[in-house]
Chain A
């Protein structure tokens, strides 16, 4: 046998041993499976134009979606507030998924509770679960605030969150004045970016209740759902500190998803203090880093009388310029020299590497704002977007995408795919390939099936570690994005030249 105590093979090598290969072949024959050439024939067919047309015509089936559901975004937004517990009203399985989803990406524990509705609760309503749940969560975890979000089951049976929470207070689950914000976040509407939006709006609504706005000069920044939040939020603070202005990041997960290993388990770490959120009503303006993550929250702050500005996950040169100019514009402060110097360094880096980046083609998938931001930066580097896809993108997004692509000759080839899934992307790439794919870990299937290298630059990144610790926003973040893309291009080039050794160069 290949496996022995003296020579222990791990999972990556064991099954490549001849004994196992033979065993697989026998199993294949024994089970009378489809012969490999038939399988290959079918696989080849799935890469044809004919299959692509059938695939794109698909209406009722979603295969490999590049989106998650509302409560995931709700949980993410919730843990960005100081000592705030994410409380999911519904069945417990959903909550378990969100926790593992976030933990797998951030490599951090992710605490959240569920009302664990069972069959009887589904029939008779989940009020008792919510009353008991709030009581237990308050007693056991001692949070400063609880944000109640919902899963489909609670929404389908029509649980009235406001009434239930009021009842729970009366029954003494939580003190009468204990902050409990709420957000309706059914999975069957929108995606995680809408859940994020709902919680931000829900927290504002609760903490601003009865308050009158007394405008000051501060700026609120809402980062939006972001897999790079740990690095990005810290970079954002560094940039804004350089401006020397008063600002508050609304829902800052950077510490919660980056707790130190020093022997202390921190159920809560960092986050936006609740008093800061209470005071945020008085801010002069609210700036959203991701328009599609804050549509409702943005409208809400505008209603309160604040100025509101939004960006599309600003990546690269032009987008960062615009962000800084907006901050400068809102605060009346000039753009700091230190940032201008950083800008020059980014331009330098882009110019240094321009020959390698020029004319490379990319297909980009992810959340709507990310795809907009990434596409823009790619074109700034002389790259050509081929397919731009957002499963949770709508027609408004598609129109914005097309307008962006029309601003550059490098966008001429690009096609925009709103609402399409990754199985559609597979067909698109099989028939009209690009040199690289930019997206999440799920883009691995394209690497496997079509040999198109994947550049991991958006949530979720499960199969690589720690990327979220580094920023992609700002000029310095842009350099990191550039390096990530360039590393892949040059690794790819090394891989392609290894066989002959020709152009397998030490200097590139």
Chain B
């Protein structure tokens, strides 16, 4: 079954990267270059699947495998919930040596049963891991049996780490949503302004900077897939009028298939920075109107944008002079590789380069257009090279995730977290304010003067 799903995903027609490959390369996997043994690597497919599904906050997420997979990662992503907290509890079957020898299916069933008895969640997601895949536990069977006996959706997530990178796991999780979740229930009412956000995980509350804007425009967010999501909301997502894809590559299969199955048009957009936020709101409004929403939505959207843009400019006026002309190195991926460029340029900053890992051709094109001649696109930027660039003073600040934080600091360069482990929401207009204020703070911290000067006795 896994092989089938994999091949099917490698053929994803909406994915420009895949389309560009010859059939042989397509079989090897997707999401950029295949892994190189011996290189420092990012997360695995299992990790990716969890990123996508775990923000379904009222579901239980049970990891079937030895302790490593869940033990090292539970509750370490800042995908926030406004209600249920069950998703933050780490459930795992914690397989032992004997389980590996005799098989872990019974243990898995017991674990599911116990979760249902104790927590009564609306659904249980069961994640396969490398070890349980290799010993041949039939997780799909166990889940099917559990669904029947416990009268509860128990959903197998077949994305063991060895099938590929994190990004591939996100797509596998998308398939899981399409196969088991989306379209399994009907909403009580539908409106002409129902939308979904795909690939928005409410990292540090990003989503909550955007939902008030929707509310003010009378747009109903049917489901965020999957930020601050409830299981039963996701099941009804197929009745939306428009899908906005926030993280371009992760759930592209979901967007395309939702269009195929339910005729929901979709677009790619971002809520990072003022220009992109405004553009996304405009696009949503236009697409909704195209599908029959009241035409006044367009006008109201413009009014909201004008008001918000003026407010952001006013709030940020005191710090913008200090940001002007500062050079940033962006080490991110996917949609952030370009959307953050626009956010920084809006503030008068210069982006010397951006990494385009996990980015689609379209992402790269946009990034390249925004950068012009003044910046570079990196398919990959090994830590050693990044260090050299920062050390040479090519950038005033690095924006990246926690894994490269310390590279910047060793190179005496300020750093700010722009990935999922950050603690502040950067999306929307309020997020832009927080984002630029954060950069300003990082740039002006007094430690940098110390970091960059030798001990006083060496002067």
Query: Which residues between 327 and 372 of chain A lie within 8 Å of chain B, taking CB atoms?
Result: 328, 334-335, 340, 343, 347-348, 350-352, 354-355, 358-359
Are A380 and B446 in contact (CB-based, < 8 A)?
Answer: yes
Q: Is A410 part of the binding interface, using a Cβ–Cβ cutoff of 8 Å?
A: yes
The interface of chain A, by Cβ under 8 A from chain B, is 317, 321-322, 324-325, 328, 334-335, 340, 343, 347-348, 350-352, 354-355, 358-359, 379-382, 408, 410, 501-503, 505-508
Are A359 and B457 in contact (CB-based, < 8 A)?
Answer: no
Interface size on B, residues (CB 8 A): 32
CB distance from B130 to the nearest CB of A (A): 23
Given known A321-B457, A502-B205, contact A358–B445 (CB-CB < 8 A): yes
Interface-forming stretch among B72-80, B115-123, B258-266?
A: B72-80
The interface of chain B, by Cβ under 8 A from chain A, is 74-76, 78, 80-82, 85, 88, 204-205, 402, 405-406, 409-410, 416-417, 421, 423, 438, 441-442, 445-448, 450-451, 455-457
Given known A347-B447, A348-B409, A382-B446, contact A321–B76 (CB-CB < 8 A): no
Among B85, B423, B441, point to the contact of A503 (Cβ < 8 A).
Answer: B423
CB distance from A325 to the nearest CB of B (A): 5
User: B78 to chain A: which residues have CB within 8 Å?
Assistant: 503, 505, 507
User: B447 to chain A: which residues have CB within 8 Å?
Assistant: 347, 350-351, 354, 380-382
The answer for the CA separation of A154 and B442 in the assembled complex, in Å, is: 59
Given known A380-B447, A502-B80, A505-B423, contact A340–B88 (CB-CB < 8 A): no
Are A340 and B423 in contact (CB-based, < 8 A)?
Answer: no
Given known A352-B409, A381-B447, contact A335–B421 (CB-CB < 8 A): no
Question: Which residue of A321, A347, A380 has the most chain B CB atoms within 10 A of its CB atom?
Answer: A347
Among A325, A348, A508, point to the contact of B457 (Cβ < 8 A).
Answer: A325
B453 nearest CB neighbor, chain A only = A347
The answer for the CA separation of A38 and B447 in the assembled complex, in Å, is: 49
CB distance from B394 to the nearest CB of A (A): 19
A-B CB contact pairs (8 Å), 24 listed:
A321-B455, A321-B456, A322-B456, A324-B457, A347-B447, A347-B451, A348-B409, A348-B410, A351-B409, A351-B447, A351-B448, A352-B409, A354-B442, A355-B417, A355-B442, A358-B441, A380-B450, A381-B446, A382-B447, A410-B446, A501-B81, A503-B80, A506-B76, A507-B76
Are B446 and A408 in contact (CB-based, < 8 A)?
Answer: yes
B413 nearest CB neighbor, chain A only = A351
Among B81, B406, B450, point to the contact of A350 (Cβ < 8 A).
Answer: B450
CB distance from A166 to the nearest CB of B (A): 51
Are B441 and A359 in contact (CB-based, < 8 A)?
Answer: yes
CB distance from A497 to the nearest CB of B (A): 10
B77 nearest CB neighbor, chain A only = A507
Are B445 and A354 in contact (CB-based, < 8 A)?
Answer: yes
Q: A340-B455, A348-B409 are in contact. List 15 more A-B contacts (CB 8 A).
A: A317-B450, A328-B457, A335-B455, A351-B447, A354-B445, A354-B447, A355-B416, A355-B438, A380-B450, A381-B447, A382-B447, A410-B446, A502-B82, A506-B75, A506-B76
B80 nearest CB neighbor, chain A only = A502
User: A358 to chain B: which residues have CB within 8 Å?
Assistant: 441-442, 445
Question: Which residue of B445, B446, B455 has the most chain A CB atoms within 10 A of its CB atom?
Answer: B446
B422 nearest CB neighbor, chain A only = A355
The answer for the CA separation of A358 and B441 in the assembled complex, in Å, is: 7
B448 nearest CB neighbor, chain A only = A351
B423 nearest CB neighbor, chain A only = A503
The answer for the CA separation of A272 and B153 in the assembled complex, in Å, is: 76
CB distance from A353 to the nearest CB of B (A): 9
Given known A324-B457, A501-B81, A501-B88, contact A507–B421 (CB-CB < 8 A): yes
B85 nearest CB neighbor, chain A only = A501
User: A325 to chain B: which residues have CB within 8 Å?
Assistant: 456-457
Are B441 and A355 in contact (CB-based, < 8 A)?
Answer: yes
Among B76, B451, B457, point to the contact of A351 (Cβ < 8 A).
Answer: B451
Are A503 and B204 in contact (CB-based, < 8 A)?
Answer: yes
Top 7 closest A-B pairs, CB basis? A354-B445, A351-B409, A382-B445, A350-B447, A506-B75, A354-B447, A321-B456
User: A351 to chain B: which residues have CB within 8 Å?
Assistant: 409, 447-448, 451
Question: Which residue of A325, A359, A408, A507 has the most chain B CB atoms within 10 A of its CB atom?
Answer: A507
A328 nearest CB neighbor, chain B only = B457
CB distance from B422 to the nearest CB of A (A): 10
The answer for the CA separation of A501 and B450 in the assembled complex, in Å, is: 37
A356 nearest CB neighbor, chain B only = B423
A316 nearest CB neighbor, chain B only = B450
User: B442 to chain A: which residues have CB within 8 Å?
Assistant: 354-355, 358
Question: Which residue of B82, B406, B421, B457 has the most chain A CB atoms within 10 A of its CB atom?
Answer: B457
The answer for the CA separation of A318 and B445 in the assembled complex, in Å, is: 15
The answer for the CA separation of A351 and B457 in the assembled complex, in Å, is: 21
CB distance from A330 to the nearest CB of B (A): 13
Among B74, B406, B423, B456, point to the contact of A352 (Cβ < 8 A).
Answer: B406
B84 nearest CB neighbor, chain A only = A501
Are B88 and A508 in contact (CB-based, < 8 A)?
Answer: no
The answer for the CA separation of A380 and B402 in the assembled complex, in Å, is: 24
User: A506 to chain B: which residues have CB within 8 Å?
Assistant: 74-76
The answer for the CA separation of A335 and B416 in the assembled complex, in Å, is: 34
CB distance from A243 to the nearest CB of B (A): 12
CB distance from B428 to the nearest CB of A (A): 17
User: A354 to chain B: which residues have CB within 8 Å?
Assistant: 442, 445, 447
User: A355 to chain B: which residues have CB within 8 Å?
Assistant: 416-417, 438, 441-442, 445
CB distance from B441 to the nearest CB of A (A): 5
User: B457 to chain A: which residues have CB within 8 Å?
Assistant: 321, 324-325, 328, 334-335
The answer for the CA separation of A379 and B402 in the assembled complex, in Å, is: 26
The answer for the CA separation of A55 and B224 in the assembled complex, in Å, is: 55
CB distance from A459 to the nearest CB of B (A): 28
The answer for the CA separation of A380 and B421 in the assembled complex, in Å, is: 26
User: A324 to chain B: which residues have CB within 8 Å?
Assistant: 457
User: A410 to chain B: which residues have CB within 8 Å?
Assistant: 446
The answer for the CA separation of A382 and B446 in the assembled complex, in Å, is: 6
The answer for the CA separation of A489 and B398 in the assembled complex, in Å, is: 25
The answer for the CA separation of A157 and B82 in the assembled complex, in Å, is: 72
The answer for the CA separation of A380 and B445 in the assembled complex, in Å, is: 9
CB distance from B442 to the nearest CB of A (A): 7
The answer for the CA separation of A503 and B205 in the assembled complex, in Å, is: 9
User: A348 to chain B: which residues have CB within 8 Å?
Assistant: 409-410
The answer for the CA separation of A254 and B35 in the assembled complex, in Å, is: 57
User: A359 to chain B: which residues have CB within 8 Å?
Assistant: 441
The answer for the CA separation of A410 and B441 in the assembled complex, in Å, is: 12
User: A352 to chain B: which residues have CB within 8 Å?
Assistant: 405-406, 409
User: A340 to chain B: which residues have CB within 8 Å?
Assistant: 455
CB distance from B408 to the nearest CB of A (A): 9
Are B446 and A379 in contact (CB-based, < 8 A)?
Answer: yes
User: A502 to chain B: which residues have CB within 8 Å?
Assistant: 80-82, 205
CB distance from B21 to the nearest CB of A (A): 36
Question: Which residue of A355, A382, A410, A505 has the most chain B CB atoms within 10 A of its CB atom?
Answer: A355
User: A334 to chain B: which residues have CB within 8 Å?
Assistant: 457
The answer for the CA separation of A321 and B456 in the assembled complex, in Å, is: 7
CB distance from B411 to the nearest CB of A (A): 11
User: B451 to chain A: which residues have CB within 8 Å?
Assistant: 347, 351
The answer for the CA separation of A334 and B457 in the assembled complex, in Å, is: 9
User: B421 to chain A: which residues have CB within 8 Å?
Assistant: 507
Question: Which residue of B409, B410, B448 has the most chain A CB atoms within 10 A of its CB atom?
Answer: B409
Question: Which residue of A335, A340, A505 has the most chain B CB atoms within 10 A of its CB atom?
Answer: A505
CB distance from A184 to the nearest CB of B (A): 41
